Amino acid sequence: MTATALVAARTDGGSWLTSLVDMIVSLMETIGPVGAGIAIALENLFPPLPSEAILPLAGLTASRGSFTIAEALIWTTLGSIVGAFALYGIGAWLGVGRLRRVAAKVPLLHPEDIDRTIAWFEKHGGKAVFFGRMVPIFRSLISIPAGVTRMPLWKFGLLTGAGSLIWNTIFVLAGFFLGEQWHIVEQYAEIFQYIVIAVVFAAVAWFVYTRTRTLMRSRRDSDPASD
């Protein structure tokens, strides 16, 4: 059974995401490891596209002799780097000044929030880029602040490549050794992704709560009628 057929066998409906994965897997089967690299580059630019499905399928295809495991790792890592640099370019285009102007217009945000975020990233950006490549959602988004702060290109490329190689290796090898049971690793990765999403929502909710509370207190203190 081909990788495309395996994907189809695991889906009941015909969602747009399933169709997109089918199309990318077909591309990978048609043009080999280059297709896997293109798929992962697109995954960086379009986070809803699951690398947790594409990478194991690249490993599965490699196990069947369509290409070698080394080719799968090389091309998927190159795809990760290309996609990351595209998002880096978006961050560089946005720049600190434009983000500060946007923050000044968004409720509950202040330009100083951008300044603090930039200061933090300039101090911890290297670790953030490296480890961020191994965290769902952040593996794509982390490239944008790197571009905003103009992290040196060589440093960004090296850290992105190293982090991506670790992440890609885990999932490609899982698909290679698990064979038709490749979806097992996808299930565990999905749990990890849900945990990350829950943490993000909790952090955003806490930020909104504390910022709203501070705003209401400052308005109350400045209102003469409250005395």
Residue 116: the pLDDT is: 87
The pLDDT value recorded for residue 31 is 81
29-60: pLDDT as tens digits: 778 888 889 888 988 887 666 777 788 888 88
Does residue 136 sit within a domain? Answer: yes
Average pLDDT, the chain: 80
Do residues 173 and 62 touch, judged by C-beta distance below 8 A?
Answer: no
Please check whether residue 209 is in contact with residue 86, taking contact to mean a CB–CB distance below 8 angstroms.
Answer: no
* Domain-embedded: residue 130: yes
> What pLDDT does residue 153 have?
95
Domain that holds residue 183: 3-190
* 206 in any annotated domain: no
pLDDT of residue 109: 76
Q: How many domains does the chain have?
A: 1
pLDDT tens sequence across 160-198: 999 999 999 998 998 888 766 666 666 666 776 677 778
Q: Report if residue 119 sits inside a domain.
A: yes
Q: What is the pLDDT of residue 219?
A: 66
The pLDDT, as a whole number, for residue 91 is 92
Note the pLDDT tens digit of each residue in 196-227: 778 878 877 887 778 787 777 766 666 555 55
Q: Is residue 114 part of a domain?
A: yes
Query: What digits encode the pLDDT tens for the residues 124-133?
Result: 999 999 999 9
Q: How far is CA 151 from CA 90, 94, 157, 159, 216, in A?
A: 13, 14, 10, 11, 38
- Whether 213 maps to a domain, the answer reads no
* Domain contains 180: yes
Calculate what percentage of the chain has a pLDDT beyond 90. Answer: 26
- Report which of 115, 128, 10, 4 is spatially closest to residue 57, judged by C-alpha positions: 4
Q: What is the pLDDT of residue 84?
A: 94
Which of 92-96, 104-108, 190-194 has the least mean pLDDT?
Answer: 190-194
- Asked if residues 37 and 76 have their Cβ atoms less than 8 Å apart, the reply is yes
Of residues 153 and 220, the one with the higher pLDDT is: 153
Residue 210: inside a domain? no
pLDDT of 92 > 90? The answer is: yes
Please give the Cα distance from 70 to 179 (Å, whole number): 17
Report the alpha-carbon distance of residue 11 to residue 100 in Å, rounded.
44
